[in-house]
Amino acid sequence: MGRSATLPKLTPQERKPVDTCAIYLLNNAKYLKYDDYFKAGLPMATGVIKGACRHLIKDRMDITGARWTMRGAEAVLPLGSLYISGDWHEYWQFHLQQEHKPNHLALYPSGIPLSKEVLKALCSTTPPPLPIPV
């Protein structure tokens, strides 16, 4: 790459993208062993990643009339990912335990009467239904 940029006598500004690319490839050569990946039967297509991005991100963020702040999108997207991956129930149990520690356990070390019943009544662990595809 460097030679192909040197022979046509590119200016330093014209050569900069080539040098950036060459440095990247040199620094990441240990990860670019595609022949080994193919032999191991690993997928090399980006279609799987693009499909996941469309499914997880575009379908959720591109709802007609919806407006998202960066903060809102960053809060919602991981939850959608948990739901689609099947980890919603496990996460929600963890979340409730983490919220319980600072909000209740620290304030009421001997426990709150009926706290388990209150948690069951107020905090459903059932994931929300998936939107119906249009």
Model confidence over 56-106: pLDDT tens digits? 888 888 888 888 899 998 888 888 888 888 899 999 999 888 887 777 666
State mean pLDDT over 24-36: 89
Question: What three-state secondary structure class fits 67?
Answer: coil
CA distance 48 to 45: 7
Helices (H) and strands (E) in the chain, counts: 8, 0
Which of the pair, 8 or 125, is modelled with greater confidence? Answer: 8
As a whole number, the mean pLDDT across the chain is 79
Instruction: Look up residue 104 and give its two tokens.
Output: 């209740």
Q: How far is CA 102 from CA 44, 68, 121, in A?
A: 45, 30, 20
Q: What is the pLDDT of residue 90?
A: 92
Query: What does the block give as tokens for 113?
Result: 């009467």
Question: Above pLDDT 90, what percent of the chain?
Answer: 10
